[in-house]
A and B are shown apart, each in its own frame.
Chain A
Amino acid sequence: MKRALTAAGVFALGAVAYGMYQLAYEVKRLEDELIALNRSIAQEREAVEVMKAEWTYLTRPDRLQARVNRHLSLAPPPPHRILALSGLPPRPEEAVVEGWGVISIPDPNAPPAPQAKPFPENLPLPVADPPVGALAAMDLATAERGR
């Protein structure tokens, strides 16, 4: 009886010691993880700040204006084109479209009619992965062309 008790005691002692070590290591591991996470949060935050600053820098009005003037044929809207929603004319029920004749404009509140899929379904899919290096080669080709 006493022998069994002792054995149980020794076993319990071992188990508790093992458990304690496990726990201690687990806590240490979690702490490391926490530090790593906090560090990466700080890094991400900083990256976000940098990107915000960069975005602001890239979208500053004078730069946008220069790009728009060079690449787009946009002009400021004249005042008569700015209307309140209530200022819009009522929606017509029919319209004459060149080449199409008179078409009826569907009621916007009606349930949507079944529509064709925007892409054909029977487009052949690639049968195998592209060979290794093909994508890089493609990039290179684009870069070459761009030059």
Chain B
Amino acid sequence: MNILIRRPRQRARPCTPADLGGGQPLVQIEGTVRAAIETGRSRIVIAGALFGLCFLVLGGRLADLMLFRGGIEPTPTRTAGLVAATGSASPVERAPIVDRNGVLLAVNLRSASLSADPRRIIDPAEAATKLTRLFPELNRAELHQKLMSDRGFLWIKRNLTPGDQKSVNALGIPGLAFHVEQKRLYPQGSLAAHAVGYTDIDSKGIAGIEQYFDDRLRDPGRLQDPLQLSIDIRVQHALRDELSKSIEQFSAIGGAGLVMDARSGEIVAMVSLPDFDPLSPGGAVGDAKFNRITLGVYEMGSTFKTFALAMGLDTGVIGMNGGYDASHPIRISRFTISDDHPKNRWLSVPEIYQYSSNIAAAKMAVDVGAAGQKAFMERMGMLRKPVVEVPEVGSPLFPKRWNTIETMTIAFGHGLSVSPLQTGVGIAAVVNGGLLVPPTLVKREAGAVVPAERVLKPQTSANMRRLMRLVVTDGTGTKAEANGYVVGGKTGTAEKAGVGGYQKKALLSSFVAAFPMHEPRYVVIAIIDEPKGTKETHGFATAGWTAAPAIGRIVSRIAPLLAVAPIDANAPKVREALMLPAPAVGAPERKLASF
């Protein structure tokens, strides 16, 4: 080692960069060692430059964070994962469903289930006593036995209410634990069960709206965005309440009701009785889960004369002043068509509808012809499966061969089975000026363009409104009147088809109505399945005695909820809109039977 070191001054400090670098060389090195030192020096410079670069990058990043990105707070969604990881909250798995006013119909809630670790319970007897006091449905002895056991885990109660959870916490028993689970709840109970439907235990929709909109309800991007239906829960309740009363009064086996906006096709209420609790659909008895409005198809009976008359008037086969001879029953092949309210004379068009004449309706349909009637029914949507936002939709049943006899029976509502929903859509078209509007269970936004198809002339619709009003003022449906709301409609009493023909005692009494008749806003349908006559109805179970009074009560209840202003039935505006043409004096245009 041959190193020469000169120290100009003794310094009690470590070597500094100045010592190594410029200025006077403090250390003089020679030989091979010098070269080694030089290499070291250049390495230090490179390392320093690298460190400098690193610090520059860090500084730049710091400036970027502080100056340019500062102030942007992490949004709750960005931290949601963080929160979820801590186990305090998990996102809902299914979007809520609300009615047209925002009232909850279905919602996912986290519910706590109570479990126990018996090994950690200090006083099983006391715990059992306290818990049974809180949940009287638990068996104290059995619970005590379980809590004494040596197991590490046992369920005490699933799906507690928040109130119960609080009470359990207040008991302060060690060894109890809550487990959070998600549960689909239906706060309205069975009220709108058929429309809303229900889900299985995995929160998958398996009926009604829940099934139809399953993908939309589970869409992670729209979980906070409720699905708004056209149902109004208050109207739904009024409809269900009044139908239940009628079913009870007439000891019927079931009933169905529909309230629909005549202009927009929105279904405001849809009831099928008996119904079920969507929380335990498995407990539904009999056909409780069957939706009579959309899935059931029925021969609607005389309510179909509305379509027969509309067809006659629209095709020009007959005018409002015309009429048919209904003095004799029609005999065709082995059938006889007669009237339930026989007048045994010539009937004018308003009288045909007013007294619900099968004979005249049949004759009118024959005049239109089988092909014309079929085309008309097709246009009214009676021959195709309607489209609505539930999977339970029934297809209409109509005869393969559509000849004279089928034409006659379909005119008064036998031989063609349709769902009450289809009937409602048809009636809406008859009263709203002749536009067939597709029905919907989803709320239409105000001002939205409603897809509609013209199926009747406005004049036909105006005439049909007059006829429907006449049925309530002077016809078979006088009990359907609701003071102030100008109800119009048509009764229909159909004998249900059973084994070996029609059953005289098993009736399907229905009433299709619209109100207020001078400018209809809503279509209401009430159907009572197999009503039995009572003393008050003098033993009658026909629609005029059973379904019509229900319509009157329903309209009185729902009209104020639907903001329909009451109006005097004799107000000039109403009279003008519903005035029937005066019967021609002298000899009216008589049209006799065409065969």
Near B by CB (< 8 A), chain A positions 75-91 give 76-80, 82, 84
Contacts of A50 in B (CB 8 A): 109, 162
Decide if A29 is an interface residue (CB 8 Å cutoff).
no
- Please judge, given known A-B contacts A39-B86, A61-B233, A62-B237, whether A80 and B566 are in contact too, CB under 8 Å: yes
Contacts of B185 in A (CB 8 A): 53
Q: Number of contacting residues on B, CB 8 A?
A: 37
Q: Is the CB of A34 within 8 A of B79?
A: yes
- Please judge, given known A-B contacts A53-B185, A65-B241, whether A79 and B109 are in contact too, CB under 8 Å: no
When C-beta atoms are compared, the residue in chain A nearest to B111 turns out to be: A50
- Please judge, given known A-B contacts A53-B107, A60-B187, A61-B233, whether A38 and B566 are in contact too, CB under 8 Å: no
- Please judge, given known A-B contacts A62-B191, A80-B566, whether A46 and B556 are in contact too, CB under 8 Å: no
Could you list 27 A-B pairs, sorted by A, with CB under 8 Å? Answer: A35-B79, A35-B82, A35-B83, A38-B79, A38-B83, A39-B88, A42-B76, A42-B80, A46-B89, A46-B110, A49-B92, A50-B162, A52-B107, A53-B185, A54-B162, A57-B187, A60-B187, A61-B233, A62-B191, A62-B237, A62-B241, A65-B237, A76-B560, A78-B483, A79-B485, A79-B559, A80-B566
Which residues of A are interface residues toward B (Cβ below 8 A)? 34-35, 38-39, 41-43, 45-46, 49-50, 52-54, 56-57, 60-62, 65, 76-80, 82, 84
Contacts of A41 in B (CB 8 A): 76
Candidates A34, A56, A61, A79; contact of B237 at CB < 8 Å: A61
Candidates B89, B109, B485; contact of A53 at CB < 8 Å: B109
Query: Which 7 interchain pairs have the tightest Cβ spacing?
Result: A79-B484, A79-B566, A61-B237, A42-B89, A56-B187, A57-B187, A56-B104
When C-beta atoms are compared, the residue in chain A nearest to B73 turns out to be: A34
Q: For the complex, would chain A's binding face be called helix, strand, loop or mixed by DSSP majority?
A: helix
Q: Is the CB of B88 within 8 A of A52?
A: no
Q: Is the CB of B88 within 8 A of A79?
A: no
Contacts of B109 in A (CB 8 A): 46, 49-50, 53
Query: In the assembly, what is the distance between CA of A45 and CA of B429, in Å?
Result: 45
Contacts of A34 in B (CB 8 A): 73-74, 79
Contacts of B74 in A (CB 8 A): 34
When C-beta atoms are compared, the residue in chain B nearest to A3 turns out to be: B13
Contacts of A46 in B (CB 8 A): 89, 109-110
Near A by CB (< 8 A), chain B positions 538-572 give 556-557, 559-560, 565-566
Decide if B189 is an interface residue (CB 8 Å cutoff).
yes
Task: Report A111 CB to chain B, min CB distance, Å.
Answer: 36
Q: Is the CB of A53 within 8 A of B556?
A: no
Which residues of B are interface residues toward A (Cβ below 8 A)? 73-74, 76, 79-80, 82-83, 86, 88-89, 92, 103-104, 107, 109-110, 162, 185, 187-189, 191, 233-234, 236-238, 241, 483-485, 556-557, 559-560, 565-566
Candidates B73, B241, B556; contact of A76 at CB < 8 Å: B556
When C-beta atoms are compared, the residue in chain B nearest to A64 turns out to be: B237
Query: In the assembly, what is the distance between CA of A57 and CA of B188, in Å?
Result: 6
Task: Report A121 CB to chain B, min CB distance, Å.
Answer: 42
Candidates B82, B234, B236; contact of A38 at CB < 8 Å: B82
Q: Is the CB of B83 within 8 A of A42?
A: yes
Contacts of A56 in B (CB 8 A): 103-104, 187-188
Task: Report A123 CB to chain B, min CB distance, Å.
Answer: 38
Task: Report A103 CB to chain B, min CB distance, Å.
Answer: 33
Contacts of B483 in A (CB 8 A): 78-79
Q: Is the CB of A49 within 8 A of B88?
A: no
When C-beta atoms are compared, the residue in chain A nearest to B161 turns out to be: A54
Query: In the assembly, what is the distance between CA of A57 and CA of B162, in Å?
Result: 13
When C-beta atoms are compared, the residue in chain A nearest to B238 turns out to be: A61
Task: From B187, B236, B485, B560, name the one whose CB has the most chain A CB atoms within 10 angstroms.
Answer: B187
Task: Report B87 CB to chain A, min CB distance, Å.
Answer: 10
Contacts of B107 in A (CB 8 A): 49, 52-53
List 13 extra interface pairs beyond A56-B104, A57-B187, A82-B565, CB under 8 A. Answer: A35-B82, A52-B107, A53-B104, A53-B107, A53-B185, A60-B187, A60-B237, A61-B191, A61-B233, A61-B237, A61-B238, A76-B556, A79-B483
When C-beta atoms are compared, the residue in chain B nearest to A30 turns out to be: B73
Contacts of A60 in B (CB 8 A): 187-189, 191, 233, 237
Query: In the assembly, what is the distance between CA of A73 and CA of B253, in Å?
Result: 33
Query: In the assembly, what is the distance between CA of A38 and CA of B77, in Å?
Result: 9
Contacts of A38 in B (CB 8 A): 76, 79-80, 82-83
Contacts of A45 in B (CB 8 A): 89
Contacts of A82 in B (CB 8 A): 484, 560, 565-566
Contacts of B234 in A (CB 8 A): 61
Task: Report B348 CB to chain A, min CB distance, Å.
Answer: 32
Contacts of A42 in B (CB 8 A): 76, 80, 83, 88-89
Contacts of A80 in B (CB 8 A): 484, 566
Task: Report B184 CB to chain A, min CB distance, Å.
Answer: 11
Task: From A46, A56, A84, name the one whose CB has the most chain B CB atoms within 10 angstroms.
Answer: A56
When C-beta atoms are compared, the residue in chain A nearest to B74 turns out to be: A34
Task: Report B105 CB to chain A, min CB distance, Å.
Answer: 8
